[in-house]
Structure 1
Amino acid sequence: MTLRLRNLGWFWVISAFATGLVSASLWFASARAWNQFLTQSFVAGFTVYEDLRTGMAPAAPLSITPLSPADAVLADTGEFQQLPGSSGRRFLTNLSILTDSSAPLNGRELTLAILSDRLVYPVSDIVSRSDQTGPEKMGNLTRLLATYCSEPILIAQFGRGPWYRVDGTGIWGCGAAPTDLRLPAILLGIVALAVLLTSVGNVSDTFTRFAHALRDRRRRGGPDSYDADGPTELRDIVSAVNAHLDAERALLEQRATVLSGVSHDLGTPATRVRLRAALIVDDELREKLEADVDQMTGMIESVLTYTRSELSVEEPRQISLTSLVESVVDDYQDMDLPVTLQNVDPVAVEGAPSVFMSRRGHGTLLETRRMLVTGRPISLKRALTNLIDNALKYGRHAEVQLETDAHTATITVEDKGNDLSVHEIEALMAPFQRGSNTGSSDGFGLGLTIAATVADQHGGGLHFEAGDQGLRARLTITRQ
C-alpha cells in the first residue's frame, strides 16, 4: 500500500509528538521518583538523629544496634574498618555534627564514621554551615548518602554515650534507589528522531534521484519509461513524465517518418527530372535544373540529420575526446584543407619535499592528452565537423584546440579573417539561418543549430568570442 505525502506527514508529526510525550513522561517520572527517594532519605536522617538522641528503637528498615564492648573499644581507637561486618568497606569518612546547645545532652556533638565500599563522601559542605540544626545536618548527610550508589554503614556516638551501628541501606542504599529512566528516555528520543529523519530522507531521496535522472537524461540517456518507488505523488509525477516522454518521442518519430517519406517520395521524381534534364541541349539550363534538384534533396537530408540529432538515439559511452578530435582533423588534412590542431602542453607537477633532497622534483603527466568523456561520439564528430566547415566557409582556415578541467571539456575552433561579428554568428545558430555568402557556399543553415543541439545534449553549450585573427567557437561539454 502506497501512502500519500500528506498521510506520511501526519504520521511523522503524530509519531514525533507521541515519542516526545513518552520520553518526557519517562524523564519527569524518573526525576519525581528520584526526588522522592532523596526526600525519604532526608527524613530518615531526622529519624536517625532523634533515635540516637533518645535511645528509641527505629522502625524498619532502619536498624540501630549498640556495639559490643570489644567493638566499642575498636571504635574509640578509630579502628572502624576492623569492626565485624565491615569487610569490603575500605573507604572511611569521619565527621562530627554539633548539636543544639539548649538540649540537656551529655556532650555537644554527634560523632559519625561512614564505611563505604566505593568512595569517601564530600561532607564538608554539610558540617560547615552554622545555620543548620543537628537534625537538618543529619538529614542532609543521609540525603548525600542516597545521592551516591553505595552501601554505607554508619558508626555513631552521641556525645560520650555508647557507640551504635546504623544500617539504613534499605532507605538510602543503592538497592533502594529507583530505576533511572532518564537515559532510556534520551535514547528513545534519539532513536525515534533517527528513524523519523531516515524516513524523511528516504522519501526526499526518491524525488531527488528521479530529478537527477531527468536532469541527466539528455546527456547520459535514459530508459523509455521510468519506475520509482515512493509516495503516491511521486508515482503520479513519474506517470505524467512517462506520458510526456512517450508523446514527445512519438512526435519526433512521426516528424522523422514524415521527412523520410518525403525524401523517399521525392527521390523518384528527382531522378526523373535529373534524367530529363540530361536530355536538354542547353548546357546552362541543364546545369541549373540539376543544381535545383541537388539543393532540394540536400535540404531534405539536412532536415533529417537535424531531426535525428534531436531524437538522441545514440547511447552515451566513455570515449577519448582527444582521439576523436585528432581523427577529425586528420581527415581534413588528408583532403589538403587548412585545418590544424594546436598541441596541448603537458601538465607539469611538482614533487613533495624529501629528507634526502633539498630541491623539489618536477615531472609531467604522461596521459594528460587522453581526455576521457562520457558522450555520443557520432554526434560530437558531426558537431565538430560543422564547426570546422563553418570556419572554412567564413574564415578560410580552422585551428582546433582542446581544453579541459575536472568537470568540463571544451573544443575550440578558431578561424582567420572572418568578417562576421560575435552577435551576427550567434544569430546563425537559429535553424535555416545563413550568412552573407549564401550564394558562394553550400549548406542550408543547420550546421550551427546541430552543433548547439549536440552541446546541449552533453550538458554544455556553444558560444562564440572574438579571437586573435577571427572568431572563436567554444563547444563545451560535461565530462561525466
Structure 2
Amino acid sequence: MSKGFRLKTLGVALIISSFAMAFLSAWMWFSSNRSWQEHLTRSYVAGISLYETLRIGAAPPAGLQVTDLSLDQAALAHRGQFLRLQDIPTPAFVTIVSIKGPGRDPVSGETLSLGIVSGNMQYAVSELVSDGGQSAAQKLGNVTRLLATYCSEPILFARMGAQPWKQIDGRAVWGCSVAPRDLRLAGALLCLVALAALASLVHDTSAHFDRFAKALQNRRRLGGPESYAVQGPQELRDIVLAVNRYLEDERDQLSKRASVLSGVSHDLGTPATRLRLRTALIKEQDLREKFDADIDSMTEMIESVLDYTRSEMNEETPRQLSLTSLLEALVADYQDTGRPVSLMALEQPQIEVSRSVFASSIGHASLPAGQRILVSARPVSLKRAISNLIENALKYGRRASVELTANKDHATIVIEDEGSGMSAADVEAVIAPFKRGNNTRAVDGFGLGLTIVATVAEQHGGRLYFETGAQGLRACLEICRN
C-alpha cells in the first residue's frame, strides 16, 4: 500500500504550480509582445529612412538593398505591369500605392509610387496612406511596418516623382526569417493546459471522497464489502482505515451477540423440554396450561431477538426481483389459509415525461398495464418485513389490505387495517425495540416486529412511516428501486 499525499501538501503544491504556470505564461506573452513591438518599430524606422533614400539618394538603411531596374523592366513597371517583371512569384498579388505628404511638399512636391508584389496576399494600405496629418515618410514607415506584420516576403518597386524605378529587397528587415518567435499562443495554451491539469487533479482528488461517501450511503442497501480500499489522499486513507476498523468491530459485536443468543436459545431448549415434560405431570389443567404458555412465551422471545439480530447482520445478497409477483404470492398464501388479506389493484407507476415539440412542460405518464415493478432487494428480509406488517394489521385491525405504488425512484408497499385504535403518531413512538402500545396488552408479541421492518427499510434505502387511511391505519414501507 503506497503512502498517499496530504491535502495540505497538495494545496501548497497547487498554489506554487499555479503561480509558476501563470508567471511562465505571462513571461512568454509579454516577452513575445515586446519582441514584436521592437520588430515593427525597426521596420517603421527603416521605412522612414527609405523615403529619404528614394527622395535624395541617401544611403539606404541597414538591411535594405535598393537597385535600379533596367530600361525594359522600368517600362513594364511604369505601365503597372508588375506581374511581368523578373523573379516575380506565380501566382502573385499586386498592391499599388501612391504616397503624398500633407499639403504641397516644400522640398520637391513629388509623389512616391509603390508596387508591392506578394505571392500570398494583397495589403490593406489605403487607411495607412490616407491620413492627411502625417508626412510622406511616416506613411511609408506605416507601410513597411504593415509588411513586417505579415510573413509574406513581398518585393517592393518604387519611384519618387520622375526618378527611375527601383527594386527594394527588405527581407532582412521585415521578412519572415528575421521575425521574432511569437510565443503568445504557446503561452496561452500552456496556461490552459496547466489549468486543465490542475482542475483534473482537484476533481480526481474530490472524486475519491465522493465515491467513498456514495459507497457508505449504499452500504446497507446494496451490501457493501467487509472493508474498503485504502486509496486517495492521506486524510481519506485515515478515514477509510477508521471506518474499516469500525466495521470490523461492528461485525465482531454482531457475531458475538448472535453467538450468545444462539447459544442461549440452544441451552434453553433442554430445560424447556424438561419443563414441558414436568408440566405434563400436573393434573390441574389450568395450571398446566399456564406453565405451557409461559414456556412458549420464553422460547418465542428468544426467537424474536434472534430474528432481529439476523436482520441487523444484513448477510443476504441483494438481487433483482419483481415486487409485483412477490406481493401477489404473499397475499395468495394468506388467502389460501383463510386469512382476511386482500390485494388492491396495482396502481400503474408514474414516470416523468420530458419536454418535446408537443409538450411545453414536464408531465407524467403511466406504464402499460401488466408492467411488473422491478426492484433490487433482499427477498427473504423484505418478505419478512411485509409479513410483519400484515400480521400487525390482522392482530390489531382485523383485516389487511395491501396496495403497491411506485415511481421511477421508489416503490411503496401500503398495508391498511380496519381500525386498530392507534394513530400514526402513536405507532411512530413504538418502533423502538420492545416498545408496545397501550391497546396491545392482550395481543401476543414482544415489540420487535416494527423494529425489524424499520431496519429492513433502511437496508433498502427507504423508510417506514404511518398514515391515517380511509378505513384505518396505513403502514407504508418505502424502498429504493435502483
TM-score range, shorter chain: over 0.9
Kept in 1, the 8 Å contact 2:348–2:366? The answer is no
Kindly report which structure 2 residues correspond to 1:184-333, keeping only aligned pairs within 5 A, or say none.
184-333=186-335
- Could you say which residue in structure 1 is the equivalent of 2:362? none
Letter in 1 for 2:206: S
Kept in 1, the 8 Å contact 2:350–2:407? The answer is no
- Could you say which residue in structure 2 is the equivalent of 1:357? none
1:384 to 377, 386, 393: 386
* Larger mean Cα displacement after TM superposition, 403-412 or 435-444: 435-444
CA distance in 2, matches of 1:66, 1:24: 47
How many Å apart are 1:437 and its aligned residue?
4.3
- Could you say which residue in structure 2 is the equivalent of 1:356? none
- Could you say which residue in structure 1 is the equivalent of 2:361? none
Match of 1:12, SS state, is: helix
- Could you say which residue in structure 1 is the equivalent of 2:70? 68
Letter in 1 for 2:341: V
2:29 to 14, 21, 27: 27
**CA-to-aligned-CA distance 1:257-289 (integer Å, 9 cap, x gap):** 222222222221111111111101100000001
Distance change in 2, residues 1:284/1:342 (3 Å):
same
Distance change in 2, residues 1:465/1:366 (3 Å):
closer
- Could you say which residue in structure 2 is the equivalent of 1:465? 467
Letter in 1 for 2:60: P
- Could you say which residue in structure 1 is the equivalent of 2:360? none
Distance change in 2, residues 1:117/1:147 (3 Å):
same
CA distance in 2, matches of 1:265, 1:303: 15
**CA-to-aligned-CA distance 1:226-285 (integer Å, 9 cap, x gap):** 113212111111110011111111112222222222222222111111111110110000
- Could you say which residue in structure 1 is the equivalent of 2:368? 365
* Larger mean Cα displacement after TM superposition, 296-305 or 341-350: 341-350
CA distance in 2, matches of 1:8, 1:165: 63
CA distance in 2, matches of 1:62, 1:108: 22
2:166 to 126, 141, 164: 164
How many Å apart are 1:439 and its aligned residue?
4.3
- Could you say which residue in structure 1 is the equivalent of 2:94? 92
Kindly report which structure 2 residues correspond to 1:147-162, keeping only aligned pairs within 5 A, or say none.
147-162=149-164
**CA-to-aligned-CA distance 1:297-347 (integer Å, 9 cap, x gap):** 111111111111111111111111112111211111111000011122557
1:116 to 95, 115, 118: 118
Letter in 2 for 1:275: L
Letter in 1 for 2:72: A
* Larger mean Cα displacement after TM superposition, 122-131 or 86-95: 86-95
CA distance in 2, matches of 1:102, 1:348: 89
1:419 to 397, 418, 421: 421
Distance change in 2, residues 1:176/1:384 (3 Å):
same
How many Å apart are 1:104 and its aligned residue?
3.3
* Larger mean Cα displacement after TM superposition, 165-174 or 397-406: 165-174
How many Å apart are 1:348 and its aligned residue?
10
How many Å apart are 1:363 and its aligned residue?
10
Match of 2:393, SS state, is: helix
- Could you say which residue in structure 1 is the equivalent of 2:359? none
Aligned CA RMSD, in angstroms, stands at 2.0
Kindly report which structure 2 residues correspond to 1:108-147, keeping only aligned pairs within 5 A, or say none.
108-147=110-149
How many Å apart are 1:2 and its aligned residue?
2.5
Kept in 2, the 8 Å contact 1:110–1:158? The answer is yes
Letter in 2 for 1:186: A
- Could you say which residue in structure 1 is the equivalent of 2:401? 399
Query: What are the ranges of 5 or more consecutive residues in structure 2 without an aligned counterpart?
Result: 357-364
**CA-to-aligned-CA distance 1:153-190 (integer Å, 9 cap, x gap):** 11111111111111112211233211111111111111
Kept in 1, the 8 Å contact 2:74–2:165? The answer is yes
Match of 1:86, SS state, is: coil
